[in-house]
Chain A
Amino acid sequence: MTDITSQTDAALAAIAAAASLEALEAQRLETLGKKGWVSLALKTLGGMSPQERAAAAPAIQSARASIAAALDAKKAALEAAALEEQLARETIDLTLPAPAVPKGSVHPVSQVMDELAEIFADLGFAVATGPEIEDDWHNFTALNMDETHPARAMHDTFYFPDKTADGKDVLLRTHTSPVQIRAMLEQGAPIRIIAPGRVYRSDSDATHTPMFHQVEGLVVDKDIHLGHLKWTLETFFKAFFEREDIVLRLRPSYFPFTEPSVEVDVGYATEGGRRVVGGHGDAPGHAWMELGGSGMVNARVLEFAGLDPKQWQGFAFGLGIDRIAMLKYGMNDLRAFFDGDPRWLMHYGFSPFDQPTLSAGVGARA
């Protein structure tokens, strides 16, 4: 008895003192291994009489259990210490930079075109397109500007030396209005479309580029009048700028393709050197700014587009996309739009995940 007790105590002390897993394993072999004294002691039980076994077994079993528990505990402790040491060795400097992931961007013009499509889709407008290399019939004649019309000369048109098979001049469209004609010829009426796209004028200075972007709007139906035009533009601008205090001023003007023709001004204030749309243009600190042209589609244009003006009437408008983009998002240099400078594109461009939606608001805040 005493023998086992003292042997057990010695073993437990050795286990506690083991400094490594190897030393611990040596202790295990010495005690619980096949030839270990605990195992050998257990084997002696087989040769004992039941009385002797009953007397000897508890001490041996208890020695085995306590040594096994001590071995397990020591092993866990040694492993934990080893892991801790390993992890300490694996420490890295996380102030070092991680690999950079390049950040892409969507151009403001595209972003605003997506916004336009989203807002006008809610009002039932589809998006129509047409060629940029146009003939003068679609760009001028069908829009009630015959060859001698003085307004033609005001368009600063880029021409190609080519002619169409039927002898028409070929040019770069000076506005998106020819898409009106094409859409009406293709789809008839009633029709609601917007037509955003590139347009070209032979004009270049600080605020004009020979290529820019316009959006055309067209509604032809029965009983459409100037009041609907006004509502549509107001509703659009309120949604686009996400403000309720948009005030529009309509002024009589002249476009050959509309009658009556209306120039659209919006009230704005100058804040911190920037134009901020909103408020009445005649209010203190406010002024009016021209946004675009519009009017009721000229009866002749409807005829050219194959519609009976006695049956159909409607309105059309045209807005500068670059201009309303600048107003909303604060760019001040139109030329930079077309430069492809990544610094500018990343500053004024949009995250791919700024997809305009009505539920989140079509605009993307800085």
Chain B
Amino acid sequence: MKFSLTWLKDYLETDATLAEICDALNAIGLEVEGVEDPAERLAGFRVAHVLTAARHPDADKLQVLTVDAGDGAPLQVVCGAPNARAGMKGVLGLPGATVPASGMVLKKSAIRGIESNGMMCSSRELELGDDHDGIIELPEDAPVGTDFAVYHGSDPVIEVAVTPNRPDCMGVYGIARDLAAKGLGTLKPISMPAFAASGACPVEIRTDDPEGCPAFYGRVVKGVKNGRSPDWLQARLKSAGQRPISLLVDLTNYLMLGFGRPAHVYDLAKLSGAVVARRAQEGEEVMALNGKTYTLDAEMVVIADERQVHDIAGIMGGEDSGVSETTTDVLLEIAYFDPARIGATGRKLGLSSDARTRFERGVDPAFLDQGLDLLTGLIVELAGGKPSEVIRAGSPPSQPKVLAFDPGLTLRLGGVAVPDAEQQRILESLGFSVASDWRVTCPLRRHDIEGPADLVEEVVRIHGLDKVASVTLPRAEGVARPTATPLQKLERGLRRAAAASGLNEAVTWSFLPVWAAEHFAADDQPLWVLANPISEDMKAMRPSLLPGLLMAAKRNADRGAASSRLFEIGRRYFRRSDGLSDERPTLGIVLAGEKTPRGWQSGKARAFDAYDAKALALQLLEAAGAPIANLMVMGEAGAQFHPGQSATLRLGPKMVLARFGMVHPATLKAFDMDGPVAAIELFLDAIPPKKNAVFARPGFTPPALQAVTRDFAFLVPAALAAGDLVRAVQGADKAFITGVRVFDVFAGQGVPEGKKSIALEVTLQPGEASFKDADLKAIAEKVVAAAAKLGGELRG
């Protein structure tokens, strides 16, 4: 909301400076978003009198003027404007002044050999209009030597952000009222131009929808003369950023911007029959003043005559019945509409307007008659005409809210002690009335006041939030207690473990292009797809962390990065059986590009492989506290992975803690990436929490006797998983076998077709007594027997 200082002072008697006013506005919750001070912009431009004008000796189109700018001695100025002539008054820019339109700094100069001490300006040069055909011509009575900014009345313009709860401040008068309450001056009563109304209103007015339009007041004024608005009105509207249109339209805008009160003026000649507020018929159309046609429905309120809709109630008037230069008779409308319905209609039509902004937030229900009289008086004063009596259909809400208020609440809730008398003064200056028992009657315009807390806010914001002192929040005795949940601790620990493993944490969008989300979606899980995405690339909620990381890795590769080792901890978005969101905490990793660059020691660059992924998966699962000794390596990592180079890590057949491996070439192709790329996903929600964890570890003393190792090499079927052999050997003697390590895997020469050789180093830990040969022999036999069950034979 923008307004000039002059406009504010129409309503507020004050000596406060611009800076004081701005500080006060900020302090009471009307945030100043900007101040534009034309006095600064127009510094150095003065009202000047052209004394003489003569042809420039060396240029046909130039004249040499002598100009009185109030400094005594006339100044010589060269001017090219055709309308420059002796006797006229205009605007002179003195050397040192900056021309607003061009930013040029004026200086004393010689034009075609003739000295020039400034510039006579056009409207366009001063950004006061589009006229550039000649220099500005001021009236004869313009005082010579006056700063043009002062003469022009172009005074500072303040822009404030009015919060949606304060439609009463969507008019300059409401802002003046708030400032007066703050002590910045005195609120002037609204000056009402006098007029004599005579005769009943010749037009019938009705509201057929008392719920959507509880009140519709009107009056006819006949014999008006529409035209250009007077300068004072134009200046005020311009300061608010409103283009003057015609007197009648400008006056309704003045009422709206000055008093927060939208109104409408119809050309009576274009109406026929009764003018009625009613629901629109389904599919009914109206061409609004913005030139667009809107199709209405039965939830919307309109103003219509017997032929057609003339107004989308509370939002925008119709093109057909708007006033024009030739309008002579008008119908004035002041109505009260249900705020919720206006909002719903505006949203449905996608139509915003200043009127809607005010109606949907709530205009003052007590300002219908006064608003109509103010508008009528101004029309009669400026456009002439004979007004009829008012005709009223329905009535606006008139039951004020009465709140039982305890002034002690200001201290209890607001944290600041304000004397009762001051609280009463503040409330009354804002239009509340306070009874002796502190029953507070709220002005009808304050739709935002719901309960005592709102009155506390009124008192505190006017009294000053800066007077609220900091008070220590009571804290528990002793050292702060731990607050993190197991999942929070898990995420924090994993994050730092992943970073310590050389991975860079990324944060990628939660939404993906649909194709990318679908590529990673599980068959039985429909995606969450936005109805109103900001772009096609941000449309479907991610079912996996990998696509976002793959896209980041691709961007990096496209920028020439040799490798990306990215991880992210975030949510995957699924659906619960009841359709609600099921968001699962997940760690995703993508390893793309070079694992090691080419080097003098290592030779060629090395890419990541599936064992790199496995190592990271296990290392991070261990950091997460998962029982990694019990994990099974199984298949079904997903269609996005290389079928022969990927696996899942599970606790039991159904409980998948992680998947890892090489990304499927088809997936790389879909993401337009070069491979190989390894990827890992840890499903944090599947990691079982530690049960009954206590600080004390189980008792342990390192064994006194040294462990011994024995090597075994087995010929096994080529398809046998090494992990199965290891597990079988590990289980051959649970008392003594404490470790089994694969140290060689070989197939080819010397190994029969369909077989491979796996060599194991088995660690045996003696208990109380050292092993005897017979013990070792017995264990070795158990190992061989266990391998034999899997088709393994000991190599000679």
**A165-B453 in contact given A124-B480, A252-B465 (Cβ < 8 Å):** no
Cα distance, A166 to B158, chains bound together (Å): 48
- Which residues of A279-326 are within 8 A (CB) of B? 296, 298-300, 313
Q: Which residue of A lies closest to B479 (CB)?
A: A122
Fill in one digit per residue for B521-563: 1 if any A CB lies within 8 Å of its CB, else 0: 0000000111111100010010000001100110110010101
> Which of A106, A121, A313 gathers most chain B CB within 10 Å?
A106
Q: Is B307 an interface residue (CB 8 A)?
A: no
Are A345 and B457 in contact, with the CB atoms below 8 A? no
B460 within 8 A of A: yes
> How distant is the Cα of A343 from the Cα of B565 in the complex, in angstroms?
12
**Residues of A close to B501: CB separation below 8 A:** 104
Q: Please give, as numbers and ranges, the residues of chain A lying within 8 Å of B453 by CB-CB distance.
A: 259-260, 296, 298-299
Which of A5-13, A32-40, A58-66, A333-341 contacts the other chain? A333-341
Chain A residues near B630 (CB, 8 Å)? none
Taking the nearest CB of chain B, how far is it from the CB of A170, in angstroms?
8
Q: Is the CB of B505 within 8 A of A106?
A: yes
Query: Considering the chains assembled together, what is the distance between the CA atoms of A162 and B416 in angstroms?
Result: 47
Tell me if A253 and B26 are in contact (CB < 8 A).
no
Complex contact B483–A349 (CB within 8 A) = no
Tell me which of B2-10, B370-378, B575-583 binds A.
B575-583
- The distance in angstroms between the C-alpha atoms of A12 and B688, with both chains bound, is 78
Q: Which residues 186-226 in A have Cβ within 8 Å of B in the complex?
A: 198, 200, 202-204, 210-211, 219, 223-226
How many angstroms from the CA of A350 to the CA of B414 in the assembled complex? 40
**Residues 96-125 of A at the B interface (beta carbon under 8 Å):** 96-97, 99-107, 109-110, 114, 117, 121-125
CB distance from A228 to the nearest CB of B (A): 5
Contact indicator B532/A202 (Cβ below 8 Å) = yes
**Whole-angstrom distance between the Cβ of B467 and the nearest chain A Cβ:** 10
**Known A-B contacts A133-B581, A231-B470, A234-B470; A313 and B483 likewise in contact (beta carbons under 8 Å):** no
Q: Give chain B residues whose Cβ lies under 8 Å from the Cβ of A253.
A: 29, 31, 163
Instruction: Tell me the B467-507 residues at the A interface (CB within 8 Å).
Output: 468-473, 475-476, 480-485, 488, 492, 495-507
| B700: Cβ under 8 A from any A Cβ | no
Q: How far is the CA of A14 from the CA of B165 in the complex (A)?
A: 112
Interface stretch of the complex, out of A18-26, A47-55, A151-159:
A151-159
Docked complex Cα distance between A62 and B27 (Å): 109
User: Does B164 lie at the interface of the complex (its beta carbon under 8 Å from any beta carbon of A)?
Assistant: yes
The smallest C-beta distance from A348 to any residue of chain B, in angstroms, reads 11
Q: Is the CB of A106 within 8 A of B496?
A: yes
B339 and A254 within 8 A (CB): no
Distance in angstroms from A122 CB to nearest chain B CB is: 5
A227 engages B469 (CB within 8 Å): yes
Map CB proximity to B onto A45-82 as digits: 1 under 8 Å, 0 otherwise. Answer: 00000000000000000000000000000000000000
**Bound CA span A225–B484, Å:** 26
A342 at the interface (CB under 8 A from B): yes
- Whether a CB of chain B sits under 8 angstroms from the CB of A263 is yes
Nearest to A265 among chain B residues (CB) is: B26
Contact A226 B416 (CB under 8 A): yes
Instruction: Report if A103-B413 is in contact (Cβ < 8 Å); known contacts: A117-B488, A124-B480, A352-B497.
Output: no
Tell me if B564 is interfacial: C-beta within 8 Å of chain A: yes
Digitize B36-47: 1 where CB-to-A-CB distance is under 8 Å, 0 elsewhere: 000000000000
A159: chain B residues within 8 A (beta carbon): 530-532
Q: Report whether A260 and B456 are in contact in the complex, using a CB–CB cutoff of 8 Å.
A: yes
In the complex, identify which listed stretch (B192-200, B340-348, B637-645, B785-793) lies at the interface while the others stay far away: B340-348
Most A C-beta atoms less than 10 A away, residue of B471, B497, B511, B570 = B471
Residues in A neighbouring B279, C-beta threshold 8 A: none
Q: Does B509 contact A (CB under 8 A)?
A: yes
Q: A159-B531, A254-B164 are in contact. Are A227 and B470 (CB under 8 A)?
A: yes
Does chain A have a CB within 8 A of B415? yes
On whether the beta carbons of A251 and B27 are closer than 8 Å, the reply is yes
Q: Would A131 and B583 count as touching, CB distance under 8 A?
A: yes
Complex CA gap A105/B504 in Å reads 5
Determine which of B26, B461, B488, B500 lies in contact with A260 in the assembled complex, contact meaning CB atoms within 8 Å: B461
Would you call A340 and B528 a contact (CB within 8 A)? Answer: no
Evaluate contact between A127 and B481: CB separation under 8 angstroms.
no
A164-B580 in contact (CB<8A): yes
Q: Do B413 and A162 touch (CB < 8 A)?
A: no
Stretch among B101-109, B599-607, B773-781 lining the A interface: B599-607
Taking A251-B31, A254-B29 as contacts, is the C-beta distance between A340 and B164 under 8 angstroms?
A: no
Chain B neighbourhood of A117, CB < 8 A: 483-484, 488
Check A126 for interface membership: any CB of B closer than 8 A.
yes
Closest to B578 in A: A165
Query: Which single residue of chain B is at the shortest CB-CB distance from A203?
Result: B534
On whether the beta carbons of A132 and B581 are closer than 8 Å, the reply is yes
- Contact A148 to B340, CB < 8 A, known contacts A133-B528, A342-B561: yes
Known: A231-B470, A252-B460, A259-B453. A104 touches B339 (CB 8 A): no
Selected from A200, A231, A232, A340, the residue in CB contact (under 8 A) with B556 is A340
Q: What residues on B are CB-neighbors of A126 within 8 Å?
A: 483-485
- Asked if B166 is at the interface (CB within 8 A of a chain A CB), the reply is yes
Separation of A6 and B115 alpha carbons in the complex (Å): 127
Which residues of B are found within 8 Å of A121, using beta-carbon distances?
480-484
Q: Which of A100, A158, A235 contacts B532 (CB 8 A)?
A: A158
Question: Any chain B CB within 8 A of the CB of A269?
Answer: no
Besides the known contacts A124-B480, A161-B531, A225-B411, 8 further A-B residue pairs in the complex with CB atoms under 8 A apart: A100-B597, A124-B481, A132-B571, A210-B511, A219-B473, A254-B165, A259-B456, A259-B457
Sorted nearest first, the 5 A-B pairs with minimum C-beta distance are A340-B552, A252-B29, A227-B415, A102-B502, A254-B163
CB<8 Å pairs between A and B, sample of 19: A99-B596, A122-B480, A148-B340, A148-B343, A153-B347, A160-B530, A225-B412, A227-B468, A234-B470, A251-B26, A252-B461, A254-B163, A260-B457, A338-B508, A339-B552, A340-B507, A341-B552, A341-B561, A353-B500
